[in-house]
Chain A
């Protein structure tokens, strides 16, 4: 017969042993946890982390390559001051506002209309679905090239059709004319960015319970009322999410405008991201270029914080 005392003691020993073991296990787990992160942080550190820190430093220094490669000198907020005194600041900000709002809301609006139309039993569903994905599949270089060709002053398709309809009497340079410039840029933005929004909105539409709509219809709701009172409120979370994402992406986007107009003519389509490039790589004012980038980053981080809050709220 074994004494209860002994059993208890044995139990304590195992407990103690387990405690020791688990603390060792825990330490191993912590080490392994960090070790597995190392490779990804090597890449991110070199390509994103270091340049980010260096940009922050540059934005606080006066550094113009035209004054020499070793002319870098701390100057506090001088670059930001120079940016806010820039005589063209108003133009850049106006461009940025047109671009960000247009390139965010036009694709969402187009996607919404398309998704509302597609969310039903359709003949040739497969066909409509594949067609919608075309702009998504085109690489942006091809997209820009195609639209440049459509907008071509002499041989462009758009000039021909607008003249046929009588909207214009002679050929227009869509990417050089002050009036047509932004509508042309935003038309391309709408065309190439609606598919992502469309896929997300359609998924949300299909998640609305059928009973809700049927009930509305039984109560004599017209199609318009159904959309306004049932459908739109149900997909509001997705729409807000897409809006914030769109704002962040278009805010930081460089490629679309760079490929279509290079920010021109002059500075007429220069938004902040292409401006960073122009100031640093063409005017060699590295400090000011970095400062503009910093302003851009701060704005997108504010939107980023809003986005994260929304995702968190959604998860709850």
Chain B
């Protein structure tokens, strides 16, 4: 009885908190739910007034069309993401190791350069980059896009890896080197196996960066053939609305959901690594 009264009192105290939380949550989920519910209906029910939260008939036709439209760009995104992630690891791990374990003049300035790249307005770089890409034959090529993405992910990854490597005990490496391991051997055999969480964080953030990028891909390529799904979606919704046609709205919306699903899957399975990435004191999230 007393117990019941106490829970009741606790609940009534907490009621305003749950109420406020509910209101904020509503604001967070409504756009997402509205997006999803707009895609699982026939086109005829997309344009109705007043808006209907629950469609009268259920239809996945939009997804069928969206998969056809976005198949190639989705594949591009996935391939670029994975290749960029691998390339980033190959390039960033040695650099981060060099910055934590080796001594040479100019080390601080090098770290400064990596930090500086995180504060630049990237639009500023686009025009010269566009011109040099044209000259080098990298414009509108897969290789060119992957090089661009890697340059974007490397500085951030080096900073992330650096702060993680710095926290590893140096004794293990010294032991290995006394036993005849070279520096690089120590990096490969000792440091990297101990760094799995941060390596996963680097891979994950690289893949997500490529997946979400719009800016670089738009300016460094022109054909849908080589472009990523994010850009395909963007082009689809601007081109269509510019020509005044709204008939394909449901395909775009379904494409938007398809684009989000892989990110949700990655986040859900690798949540603890993301937290590790953030707490490692990185500059960018």
* Chain A residue, CB-CB nearest to B249: A149
| Residue among A120, A137, A252, A274 with most chain B CB within 10 A | A137
Q: How far is the CB of B241 from chain A (nearest CB, A)?
A: 8
A114 to B29, CA, bound (A): 14
Partner of B124, one of A117, A199, A245, A290: A290
Of the stretches B57-65, B95-103, B167-175, B188-196, the one at the interface is B95-103
Of the stretches A8-16, A33-41, A177-185, A210-218, the one at the interface is A33-41
Q: Is the CB of A29 within 8 A of B95?
A: no
Interface residue? A64 (CB, 8 A): no
**Looking at chain A, what size class is its interface with the partner chain?**
35 or more
Q: How far is the CB of A76 from chain B (nearest CB, A)?
A: 19
Q: Is the CB of A155 within 8 A of B128?
A: no
Binding site for A on B (CB under 8 A): 17, 20-21, 24-25, 27-32, 34-35, 38, 46-51, 90-92, 94-95, 97-99, 102-105, 107, 110, 113, 115-117, 119-129, 132, 147-148, 150-152, 154-155, 158, 183, 211-212, 214-215, 230-231, 233-234, 237-238, 249, 252-253, 256-257, 259-260, 263-264, 267, 275, 278-279, 283, 285
A265 to B18, CA, bound (A): 40
* Residues of chain B within 8 A of A36, CB atoms compared: 94-95, 97-98, 102
Q: Is the CB of A150 within 8 A of B104?
A: no
0 or 1 for each of A243-256: is its CB under 8 Å from B? (1 = yes) = 00100100110110
0 or 1 for each of A125-145: is its CB under 8 Å from B? (1 = yes) = 000100111111111111111
B-contacting residues, A92-137, CB 8 Å: 110, 113-114, 117-118, 120, 122, 128, 131-137
Interface residue? A61 (CB, 8 A): no
* Residues of chain B within 8 A of A139, CB atoms compared: 211-212, 230, 259-260, 263
Partner of A149, one of B35, B121, B147: B35
> Given A37-B99, A114-B21, 11 more contacts at CB 8 Å?
A33-B98, A37-B110, A44-B155, A58-B127, A132-B25, A149-B38, A191-B31, A199-B285, A258-B214, A276-B121, A304-B116
* Residues of chain B within 8 A of A143, CB atoms compared: 31
* Residues of chain A within 8 A of B34, CB atoms compared: 146, 149-150, 157
A283 to B47, CA, bound (A): 38
Partner of A118, one of B21, B123, B129: B21
* Chain A residue, CB-CB nearest to B98: A36
Interface residue? A78 (CB, 8 A): no
Q: Is the CB of A33 within 8 A of B50?
A: no
A244 to B44, CA, bound (A): 47
Q: Is the CB of B121 within 8 A of A297?
A: yes
0 or 1 for each of A179-223: is its CB under 8 Å from B? (1 = yes) = 000000000000100001001100100000000000000000000
Q: Is the CB of A29 within 8 A of B104?
A: yes
* Chain A residue, CB-CB nearest to B237: A145
Known A34-B104, A44-B155, A140-B230; judge A52-B28 contact (CB<8 A). Answer: no
* Residues of chain B within 8 A of A131, CB atoms compared: 25, 28-29
A233 to B138, CA, bound (A): 52
Q: Is the CB of B260 within 8 A of A142?
A: yes
If over half of A's interface residues share one DSSP class (helix, strand or loop), that class is named, otherwise mixed; here it is helix
A225 to B170, CA, bound (A): 47
Q: Is the CB of A137 within 8 A of B50?
A: no
Q: How far is the CB of A189 from chain B (nearest CB, A)?
A: 13
* Residues of chain A within 8 A of B259, CB atoms compared: 139, 141-142
Q: Is the CB of A40 within 8 A of B95?
A: yes
Partner of A147, one of B31, B50, B92, B252: B31
A133 to B271, CA, bound (A): 11
* Chain B residue, CB-CB nearest to A276: B123
* Residues of chain A within 8 A of B285, CB atoms compared: 196, 199
* Residues of chain A within 8 A of B150, CB atoms compared: 43
* Residues of chain A within 8 A of B230, CB atoms compared: 139-141
* Residues of chain A within 8 A of B231, CB atoms compared: 141
A52 to B123, CA, bound (A): 11
A276 to B215, CA, bound (A): 13
* Residues of chain A within 8 A of B35, CB atoms compared: 142, 145-146, 149
Partner of A33, one of B107, B113, B115: B107
A37 to B124, CA, bound (A): 25
Known A34-B104, A114-B24, A254-B215; judge A55-B125 contact (CB<8 A). Answer: yes
